[in-house]
């Protein structure tokens, strides 16, 4: 306790020193770059301009961020925020090129699993002292804290979270007389129960599939987000705890069980569609569908006749040996080359702190990260949100935290494609995936 106190004291002192150091610096460079002072009537506070890059989201998300910035600027007259909403598809490419050219914004939005490659490359500012001083880390679930850290240091702060669950077509369940799964977070169905139900629900003649276990097959980060949890649920890990190898983990007995089960859904029992049509769940083409909280709004707006509670319901994500799903959504970090890390942190701290995160959650309907925000948002305690929030707080874990993450993500996508779509031997496919990841880890050491 004494030790903790003294270390906190050191951190606080350190941040005061940092603050003291950074202020004159900020002022100086401001003097150098600002327009000549006008008539002298305006307040004498110098303004700092923070460049803030994020991928453009939907209207609600963009509106919420603008609102947060407005509030922040009103409270901090000395800081102006120059927001750039980058088109989503170009965002990662733009950020990566800009980081290499050292021209990225002061604050950048970061998809949590890519953080470690940026941090390892020295592109991010270490926020540990700031965070420990004033981010109230105890207000954040442990599983999420882990996704914010690389090498023991905090680099990013999340504004919202996401979570996935089992969506099921209630009418189809009732038609076949299958008992409905529980809505209680701690009573998830096992994959065996899911498979049983899927076999009964499967009806190829009518074009109905039993279950889509992980959003079919696609590109990008989606596959790793939806498919890594299947490995975890069967008791496997992707990497060794120290992140040095995938050997013995991604090709472990447990991992192969998970892959064999996944393969059997497509190839043995044929209860899962190899090619997903658009919107398969609300159009009744799959009876069970693993999907994310973000589709709640999509279904309500675009399929008003497909009603939650009447036509469909949400159950916790299936488990095998344990319950697990990935956390890590969009977060904010400060670039290492930023001239105003302290001011940048102030903005991030406002946006991701209780007040800002509450505004964001209210305006967008996204899952709040902080316990305090959940407590202040009654709807988060009610079904269907309770399923997602409960899972997030109890069972979510970060995707592998390693600078080789891009290679890990690609290897997992290809691995599940290989065994699911390609019906490839699980041993050979796992061996290939291990090699791809280990080669990438090796290459980073050079």
Interface residues toward other proteins, by CB under 8 A: 92-93, 96-97, 99-100, 117-118, 120-123, 207, 217-220, 273-275, 277-278, 285, 406-407, 410, 414, 417-418, 421-422, 424, 440, 443, 446
Give the nearest distance from C-beta 422 to other proteins in angstroms: 4
Whichever of 188 and 276 has its CB closer to other proteins, that residue is 276
Nearer to other proteins, 158 or 280 (CB): 280
Q: How far is the CB of 419 from other proteins (least distance, A)?
A: 10
Rounded least distance, CB 413 to other proteins, Å? 8
CB nearer to other proteins: pick between 52 and 91: 91
Tokens read off for 267: 């190839």
Closest approach of other proteins to the CB of residue 373, in Å: 32
Any bridge partners for residue 49, and if so which? Answer: 80
> Beta partners for 356?
none
Q: How many CA atoms lie within 13 A of 17 on its CB side?
A: 7
Q: Identify which of 352, 325, 94, 297 has the alpha carbon closest to the alpha carbon of residue 229.
A: 325
Instruction: Show Cβ contacts of residue 361 under 8 Å, excluding neighbours closer than 6 positions.
Output: 160, 367, 368, 373, 377, 380
Rounded-to-integer distance, Cα 92 and Cα 105, Å: 13
- Kindly state the DSSP code that residue 161 receives in the 8-state scheme: B
Residue with tokens 């697990």: 324
Compare residues 177 and 278 and give the one whose CB is closer to other proteins. Answer: 278
Cα–Cα distance list, 241 to 36, 88, 401 (Å): 56, 33, 10
The answer to whether 328 touches 322, Cβ cutoff 8 Å, is no
Do the beta carbons of residue 338 and residue 322 sit within 8 Å?
no
- Find, among 407, 409, 415, the residue nearest to 431 by Cα: 415
Q: Which is nearer to other proteins, 278 or 378 (CB)?
A: 278
Report the residue number, 77 or 122, with the smaller CB distance to other proteins: 122
Contact 134, 126 (CB under 8 A): no
Q: Which is nearer to other proteins, 65 or 404 (CB)?
A: 404
List the structure tokens of 424. 């490839």
Tell the smallest beta-carbon distance from residue 87 to other proteins (Å).
13
Beta carbon of residue 155, minimum distance to other proteins (angstroms, whole number):
13
Q: How far is the CB of 23 from other proteins (least distance, A)?
A: 29
Minimal distance in Å, beta carbon 143 to other proteins? 26
Q: Residue 337: is it exposed, middle or buried by C-beta count within 10 angstroms (0-12/13-18/19+)?
A: middle
Backbone region of residue 316 per phi and psi (left: phi > 0; alpha: psi in -120 to 50; beta: other values): beta
| CB of 48 or CB of 123, closer to other proteins | 123
């Amino acid at each position: 306790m004494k030790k903790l106190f003294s270390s906190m004291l050191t951190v606080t002192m350190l941040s005061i020193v940092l603050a003291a150091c950074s202020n004159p610096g900020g002022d100086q460079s401001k003097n150098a770059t600002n327009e000549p002072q006008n008539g002298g009537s305006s307040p004498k506070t110098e303004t700092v301009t923070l460049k803030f890059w994020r991928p453009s989201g939907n209207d609600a998300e963009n509106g919420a961020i603008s609102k947060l910035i407005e509030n922040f600027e009103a409270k901090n007259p000395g800081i102006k925020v120059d927001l750039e909403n980058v088109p989503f598809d170009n965002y990662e490419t733009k950020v990566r090129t800009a980081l290499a050219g050292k021209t990225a914004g002061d604050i950048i939005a970061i998809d949590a699993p890519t953080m470690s490659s940026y941090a390892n490359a020295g592109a991010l500012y270490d926020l540990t002292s700031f965070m420990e001083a004033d981010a109230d880390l105890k207000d954040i679930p442990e599983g999420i804290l882990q996704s914010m850290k690389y090498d023991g240091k905090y680099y990013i702060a999340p504004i919202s979270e996401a979570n996935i669950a089992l969506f099921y077509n209630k009418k189809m369940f009732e038609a076949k007389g299958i008992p409905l799964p529980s809505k209680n977070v701690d009573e998830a169905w096992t994959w065996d129960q899911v498979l049983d139900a899927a076999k009964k629900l499967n009806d190829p003649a009518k074009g109905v599939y039993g279950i889509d276990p992980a959003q079919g097959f696609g590109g990008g980060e989606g596959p790793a987000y939806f498919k890594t949890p299947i490995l975890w649920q069967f008791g496997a890990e992707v990497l060794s705890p120290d992140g040095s190898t995938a050997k013995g983990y991604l090709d472990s007995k447990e991992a192969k069980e998970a892959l064999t089960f996944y393969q059997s859904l497509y190839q043995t029992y044929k209860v899962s569609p190899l090619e997903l049509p658009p919107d398969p769940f609300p159009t009744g083409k799959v009876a069970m569908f693993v999907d994310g909280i973000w589709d709640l709004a999509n279904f309500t707006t675009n399929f008003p006749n497909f009603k939650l509670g009447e036509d469909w319901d949400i159950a916790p994500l299936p488990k095998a040996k344990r319950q697990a799903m990935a956390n890590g959504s969009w977060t904010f970090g400060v670039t290492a080359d930023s001239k105003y890390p302290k001011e940048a942190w102030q903005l991030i701290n406002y946006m991701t702190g209780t007040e800002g995160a509450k505004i964001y959650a209210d305006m967008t309907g996204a899952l709040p990260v902080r316990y305090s925000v959940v407590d202040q948002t009654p709807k988060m305690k009610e079904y269907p949100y309770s399923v997602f929030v409960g899972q997030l707080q109890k069972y979510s874990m970060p995707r592998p935290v390693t600078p080789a993450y891009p290679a890990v993500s690609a290897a997992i996508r290809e691995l599940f494609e290989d065994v699911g779509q390609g019906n490839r031997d699980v041993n050979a496919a796992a061996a290939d995936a291990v090699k791809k990841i280990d080669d990438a880890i090796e290459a980073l050491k050079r």
